[in-house]
Structure 1
Amino acid sequence: MTSADETRVRVGVFGLLGSGNLGNDGSLEAVLGYLRTEHPEAVVDALCGGPEAVTTRFGIPATRLHWNRAEYRTASRAGAVAAKGLGKLVDVFRTAAWVRRHDVVIVPGMGVLEATLPLRPWGFPYSLFLLCASGRLLRTRVALVGVGAAEIRNRPTRALVRWSARLAAYRSYRDAQSRDAMRAMGVDTARDEVYPDLAFALPTPRASGPDKLSLSPGPVCVGVMDFHGGNDDRGRAEEIYRRYLDGTIRFVRTLVEEGRPVRLLTGDDCDASVVAAILDAVDSPLVTAADAASLADLMKETAAADTVVATRYHNLICALKAGTPTLALSYAAKSDALMDRMGLGAYCHPAREVDAGRLLEQFRALEQGSAELRQTLAEKNLIAARQLEGQFTALTAALFPATVPVHAHATREAS
């Protein structure tokens, strides 16, 4: 590090970034945009799941989150189990050493305080606890910015998440339900604020929208997910997945029979298997799959559609931000809260119990109210943009002390 770098604020970003989840990377992109605009002097690097991908895409140095490269693979042999145990110990020192090099560490968005999808306590919750504990011990400010949270039943996971939140120097949430969940789990949230998801701070693509001169219905984007329920659904995960997939296939098949082009969207690398299953079951040139590598790509896809039906949380955000009427296949309270916040609370359908007939009824109602809903979304997006300006102003006040030399403070106090 050069002498010039040593005088600049050192900012770390932390999370499952660069690991194939477009929503996580979108949150990182939003925070980096804020830092580059408001704090261009900051020296930024990452501790993350996919360091090579983060460095390639965002141009910042990155370190692997776990010492054990097989951290998220199931360990069955004695050697693999021992490697995981050793990795947990090594990561204590690796995390502390990384935190020590920074003035500020930001956890950008993501559902880091929830377990709405299958989650083991000694995976990411443990990593987050190490981060927040290291920050408190080493006096590095750790900020959980615009994060998602939900009440957690599993005791070890609940304890790790609760203590992570308590040890953080700053917290804000992407919806009121997240703040309420942390309060219910014993965290003092009196000073915590709620803002829209960080992805709403990303640039909005130019709206191409449907061709209004065409007499035929336009394309429908269907965002899919490799969905097996959450932590509390492990016993019936396969049943949930089969029902979700079968219902989605029936819905897509009906659209195709009506001559509607369908564009399949994903939000994580693991969703490719669901796309393949739908393409195989609905053998039609009207069904195609998008190859989106970012939230910007997803927004362009949804902006070009008549209507969107989607499961993943950040698929919904992309569609709503693009101003396209959207129906949520909701798998968690965060999806319902998002849709309600954007004025589309009536257009939610349970992902655990997809009923193709009922889904089609809701879809037709959505399309009938399309013009009014587009106006509603335009208004809600303006509000979200203003609220996120407030989020970044608050973040600067909390994390970045005024860059006035110490002697200048002393002079003013003496005068």
Structure 2
Amino acid sequence: MTSAGETPVHVGVFGLLGSGNLGNDGSLEAVLGYLRAEHPEAVVDALCGGPEAVATRYRIPATRLHWYRGEYRTASRAGAIAGKGLGKLVDAFRTAAWVRRHDVVIVPGMGVLEATLPLRPWGFPYSLFLLCASGRLLGTRVALVGVGAAAIADRPTRALVRWSARLAKYRSYRDAQSRDAMRAMGVDTTRDEVYPDLAFALPVPPSGPSGQVCVGVMDFHGGNDDRARADEIHRRYLEGTTRFVRALAEEGRPVRLLTGDDCDTTVVAAILDAVDSPLVTAAETSSLADLMKETAAADTVVATRYHNLICALKTGTPTLALSYAAKSDALMAQMGLATYCHPAREIDHDRLLGQFRSLEKHSAELRQTLAERNRAAAQQLTHQFTALTTALFPATYQAHPYQETP
């Protein structure tokens, strides 16, 4: 607690939060849980993509990340292009002014150091660089906590990501390959640690198996280097996923479609229209807690989005990954399910069904494996939050470690 007369520590959270991506918001929720448990005296606010949603859901003040409201719309007219250009200049001053008001800024999880999905350097990489550069110039401690990273081919994006990481006060990663990628891009990772994804710190809702299969879908068009083949990749992914869902429905299996971002609803609609079976339904989810309720109630899960996989694994449900990036393969290996990965870009219907049959056949032993791995993840995240307190709150550090919510 803050003593009388002391100024409370001001903590900012930063990122594409409140913008419809449930995984990003789940990482924020985990960090807010840590702050409220270990640093209840902290004054917390956000600079984020969806300030209205963040302020309403998490009860903290929030400011819009970009001055130009059309930042994520394609600019084709001269006025829109000029607005975006001016916005980049204004954002440099806005970001610095926001950073100046804080003692600590935390970037909670997310794949902020990767380009596994389409990404332009002047988008979020530029915003992250402004944050980290402002922190270094103004003496505000910036922490990249449990983030994802990957090797980036595009030179401007790679440069912005590399300098953002170098300028941060604290870095930790959600898997070893993320740390390796940053080292390969020229960042000194000697003191950087690897911990499980922050979403593993969230509580698991009580539930019991319902007999259904959850299929998590994604508006998938490939990665940053696949722009020329984006439409083809999307078509093949949608056809493969639809065929798999149809096969389950024809066997009389109830299927529950899950999303992880607002844009995924178009894929859900396409599958429902193509399969046209009362056994196939769509879940309405607005948080990782909602997703966990769905996956906890499932017998098995087949999913694409990274945080759909985390929700299923966290609840101990046998899971098969339609993997679109190396981070998914790493996560499945970490949780003891490396055998159950299938490439999202090249779905082979017969092989996918074979993997699914094997997943169901070994369900009991896989649930035991997941229980053991989840206990280990909880212990590691306890160390993560204790290390974060030591690095960012030295004056208020208390010897007792952060305790994960059961």
For normalisation by structure 1, the TM-score amounts to 0.94
CA distance in 1 between counterparts of 2:390 and 2:60 reads 24
- Structure 2 counterpart of 1:359: 352
- For 1:384, the aligned partner's letter is A
- Structure 1 counterpart of 2:337: 344
Whether the 8 Å CA contact 1:5–1:43 is kept in 2: the answer is: no
Q: Does 1:78 align with 2:78?
A: yes
Listed as ranges, the gaps of 5+ residues in structure 1 are: 211-217, 405-415
Larger Rg: 1
Q: Does 1:254 align with 2:261?
A: no
Q: What is the Cα deviation at residue 355 of structure 1?
A: 1.3
Q: What is the Cα deviation at residue 117 of structure 1?
A: 0.1
Q: Does 1:62 align with 2:55?
A: no
Q: Does 1:402 align with 2:399?
A: no
Q: Aligned residues, how many?
A: 395
Whether the 8 Å CA contact 1:207–1:322 is kept in 2: the answer is: no
CA RMSD of aligned residues (A): 1.1
CA distance in 1 between counterparts of 2:229 and 2:85 reads 29
Alignment of 1:181-196 (within 5 A): 181-196=181-196
- Structure 2 counterpart of 1:22: 22
CA distance in 2 between counterparts of 1:221 and 1:193 reads 33
- Structure 2 counterpart of 1:381: 374
CA distance in 2 between counterparts of 1:207 and 1:180 reads 38
Task: Name the CA shift for 1:5/1:13 in 2 (closer, same or farther; >3 Å).
Answer: farther
Name the SS for the 2:345 alignment partner.
helix
CA distance in 1 between counterparts of 2:4 and 2:252 reads 62
Q: Does 1:288 align with 2:281?
A: yes
- Structure 1 counterpart of 2:113: 113
CA distance in 2 between counterparts of 1:311 and 1:15 reads 22
- Structure 2 counterpart of 1:311: 304
CA distance in 1 between counterparts of 2:182 and 2:18 reads 27
Listed as ranges, the gaps of 5+ residues in structure 2 are: 398-406
- For 1:281, the aligned partner's letter is A
Alignment of 1:87-236 (within 5 A): 87-210=87-210, 218-236=211-229
CA distance in 2 between counterparts of 1:369 and 1:5 reads 60
- For 2:23, the aligned partner's letter is G
CA distance in 1 between counterparts of 2:348 and 2:296 reads 26
Whether the 8 Å CA contact 1:225–1:267 is kept in 2: the answer is: yes
- For 2:119, the aligned partner's letter is L
- For 2:36, the aligned partner's letter is R
- Structure 2 counterpart of 1:214: none
- Structure 1 counterpart of 2:401: none
Q: What is the Cα deviation at residue 402 of structure 1?
A: 2.0
- For 2:131, the aligned partner's letter is L
- For 1:247, the aligned partner's letter is G
CA distance in 2 between counterparts of 1:138 and 1:117 reads 32
Q: What is the Cα deviation at residue 356 of structure 1?
A: 1.4
Task: Name the CA shift for 1:238/1:104 in 2 (closer, same or farther; >3 Å).
Answer: same
- Structure 1 counterpart of 2:326: 333
CA distance in 2 between counterparts of 1:209 and 1:203 reads 18
CA distance in 2 between counterparts of 1:107 and 1:4 reads 30
Q: What is the Cα deviation at residue 17 of structure 1?
A: 0.1
CA distance in 1 between counterparts of 2:186 and 2:104 reads 25
- For 1:155, the aligned partner's letter is R
CA displacement 1:139-164 (0-9 Å, x = unmatched): 00000000000000000000000000
CA distance in 2 between counterparts of 1:68 and 1:125 reads 16
- Structure 2 counterpart of 1:407: none
Deviates further, 348-357 or 273-282: 348-357
CA distance in 1 between counterparts of 2:4 and 2:175 reads 39
CA distance in 1 between counterparts of 2:348 and 2:24 reads 30
- For 1:136, the aligned partner's letter is R
- For 2:59, the aligned partner's letter is G
Name the SS for the 2:28 alignment partner.
helix
Q: What is the Cα deviation at residue 205 of structure 1?
A: 1.2
1:392 paired residue among 350, 361, 385? 385
- For 2:144, the aligned partner's letter is L
Q: What is the Cα deviation at residue 4 of structure 1?
A: 7.5
- Structure 1 counterpart of 2:290: 297
CA distance in 2 between counterparts of 1:134 and 1:241 reads 38
CA distance in 2 between counterparts of 1:153 and 1:13 reads 28
Q: What is the Cα deviation at residue 403 of structure 1?
A: 3.5
Q: What stretches of structure 1 move > 3 A for 4+ residues in a row?
A: 3-6
- For 2:97, the aligned partner's letter is A
Deviates further, 198-207 or 388-397: 198-207
